[in-house]
A and B are shown apart, each in its own frame.
Chain A
Amino acid sequence: MAHFDEMTCLLYLDGQLDRERATELSEHVETCAECRTLLAALESESRLLRGALTEEEESVPARLLEYAPETKAREAAPLAWLVTLGFAGAGAYTLWSGIVEPWQQQLSQAGFGGDSFLAMLFFGGVFWKGWETMVNLTELLAAATLVILAVALFRRNSRHTPTVAVVLGALACVLALPLAASAAEIRKAGTVTVATDEVIKNDLVAVGESVRIEGTVEGDAILCGQTLTVNGHVKGDVIAFGEFVRINGQVDGNARVFSKFFALEGNVAKNVSIFAQTLEFPSKSQIGGSLMLFAARASQDGRVGRDLMAFVAKYDLNGMVGGTGLLQSDRLTIGPSADIQGKVSITAARQPSISEKAKFGSGPPAIKIETHRPDYASPGYYWHQTLRWGAAFMLGLVLALLMPGFLRDTMREGERYGLSLGAGVLALIVTPIAAVIACITIVGVAVGILAVLAWGAALYAAQVFVGAFLGQKMLGAADSTGALLGRMAVGLLVIRVAGMIPYAGHLAWLIVVVFGLGVVTLAIVKRARPEPAAM
């Protein structure tokens, strides 16, 4: 007779066979050694499983033994809320007094005051000089870790309410930010034109393929489109997102321009900040306040009333600057009609060409030649790297304590390499674009700015997720938070060392950022999706 299969044997052992079939099997086994061995093996497997599962190799946590969930816990909840909201409030105050206020002061000294808080955050944040020191983030993160640890200790008693409270506290902070919404006239069309004799009393928001302002706008003008031209008079600020932007008329406020090509041929009374591929700033035009400039190419003959701060790859400077000049450029040419009255400091990749006829009111410029290569010989470089590793680890610690489930989700998503990298590339490119689009609508400005901030945070945090994933890959799955943190530390170290390799290091960082963004995106998407149906 044929042997019985494994399934039947298991059902027999578990008493799941009907009597007839069971008798058949027990009779067969008496004469069949092979089936007998199989039965015995299955039985010892059951024993092994039972033994392994019921063995008390690990003690039950004391807090579970002491604490019976009952009404007491419910009474404690409001206290938990108060404490966490207190933490959130204190955190927000620290953030305000420690970072935002000094920022605002610094900016108003640089001629960037008077804007709404959000506009300052968006346009001013990029120019903040303190970013370099902030990169370490060590101190800030240390403080944050302390707060989180305190919250985590508190969580030992009542685990979930405070987390919710923290989130709500953060949300409250966000909502408390003054929204820049005000009365505005909104125009959307293929071609938007404000005619020569037309006067718009409010702010103007214009979206169209081509936007022209020939008349007068008494408030701010927020313009978005392919070709944007201001020939008329804007009494407030001009904020422009476009491919080709021209300001030929008069702007009484500030101008903020994001564009591929920007020509400033008119007058701007206050400050100007520009992100552009190419800037043209001919001699007849002028800026009353300061100019901050990020561009690939710029030629400047016009006049800047106050300070100039420029980061331009190829820069021809031939105009007048009333204040100081802080210039960073790969190829800098200062022409004969240049006249800079304040101090000038230049950071360049190669020796700038400076005309003998150029005038410098406060002495010759301080020139620093800086190649982009890191200084491997200096111990400071390694100390710096160590600090950065520490900062990243601290962030990881915070993440592991605050959202362990999310961290585990990201590590699971990491197993799908291709998908993660794809999602990462998408998130890397799409988020800023979506944010800029969101900024076009006034209400969307807050959303857009938050998206950009979250995106920036995710760029930095990417290494933490990748570090944890990498550590786990190298050392095996972690079964406790401590073990996970250890693996994360090792993973981060590997990333840090890989990033120090000349040339290839940049590629390593790019992969880390893309992969990290990818797993974060996938984990968020997964959480946002509805629960799967029961099987």
Chain B
Amino acid sequence: MPGAEFTETIARARSGNAEAWGELYKQYAPAIFRFCRRALPAREDAEDATTEIFMKVRDKLDQYDASRPFTAWLYKVSANHCWDILRRRSIRQDLETGEVETLPLEHPDPGQLDRLMEQSTGQQVRSALAKLPARARMALVLRYYSDMSYDEIAEALGVRRAFVGVVLLRARHQLRELLTGRGAAGAAAGGVA
């Protein structure tokens, strides 16, 4: 949607115009559904979350700062919502990640890593992602699906800015382990927690 027209749609939706709201919804619902599908463990959860997110968005539309990109704001609301869901579900989350963070990371063999990346398919990556602990998965989704900056990720996940790189790198390591089949058992136990 071109800039001026889009700003107008937002303004109309804000003033309670159902048609404008429908337009916004139709345009963004698929992307938000896909976001939720990646971030949450089950399809039903993603469906529910999408509906809930748009209800929230509708209520919060006044708070949107029109000078910034709408998608970024939308992903921020979605990220908060999904992260809330995940946090509510998994009490063990803190424990799990707490342990992982103190382990030193093994330096990868660049050649081996390169080969792994060449051999892995999108499908394999998706099913490995689904097995990652919630925070690792969420971090990767925010970065590589929603294109969020490190600052935005820090805010969404409630971690320090300086820590975002570590979270992302750990997530990559866990993903690699799953792709090579080494971490399958351990990550399955952590599963969708």
A positions within 8 Å CB-CB of B: 5-7, 10-11, 14, 16, 34-35, 37-38, 40-42, 44-46, 48-58, 60-61, 63-65, 67-71, 159, 404-405, 408-409, 412, 415, 477, 479-481, 526, 529, 531-535
Contacts and interface: CB of A to CB of B under 8 A. Distances in A.
Main DSSP-derived SS at the B contact region: helix
Nearest to B38: A53
B25 interface: yes
18 contacts: A7-B165, A10-B169, A10-B172, A35-B110, A37-B111, A38-B113, A48-B120, A53-B38, A53-B140, A54-B145, A60-B33, A60-B34, A65-B26, A408-B41, A479-B42, A479-B130, A532-B87, A535-B158
A244 B76 CA distance: 67
Contacts of A42: 113
B193 interface: yes
Nearest to A67: B51
B158 A64 contact: no
A415 B189 contact: yes
A45 B58 CA distance: 36
Given A7-B165, A10-B168, A52-B122, A38 B191 contact: no
A53 B123 contact: no
Contacts of A405: 45, 89
B66 interface: no
B51 A159 contact: yes
B2 interface: no
Main DSSP-derived SS at the A contact region: helix
Interface string B69-92: 000000000000000000111110
A535 B159 contact: yes
Contact of B150 (A16, A49, A69, A479): A16
Contact of B58 (A14, A70, A404, A415): A70
Nearest to A59: B30
A2 to B, nearest CB: 12
B25 A531 contact: no
B21 A58 contact: no
A68 B129 contact: no
A532 B125 contact: no
A6 B120 contact: no
A20 to B, nearest CB: 18
Given A38-B113, A46-B144, A526-B91, A480 B21 contact: no
B29 A65 contact: yes
Interface in B8-63: 18, 21-22, 25-26, 29-30, 33-34, 37-38, 41-45, 47-48, 50-51, 54-55, 58
Given A14-B150, A526-B91, 15 more contacts: A38-B110, A46-B144, A48-B120, A50-B145, A53-B140, A63-B47, A65-B26, A69-B51, A70-B21, A412-B90, A412-B193, A415-B191, A479-B130, A532-B91, A535-B157
Contacts of B166: 7
Rank and list the top 10 A-B pairs by shortest CB-CB distance, nearest first.
A52-B125, A37-B110, A68-B25, A38-B110, A52-B122, A41-B114, A41-B113, A53-B145, A49-B144, A44-B117
Contact of B122 (A48, A60, A68): A48
Nearest to A34: B110
A41 B34 CA distance: 27
Contacts of B50: 64
Contacts of B126: 52-53, 55, 57
Nearest to B112: A41
A528 B105 CA distance: 36
A38 B108 contact: yes
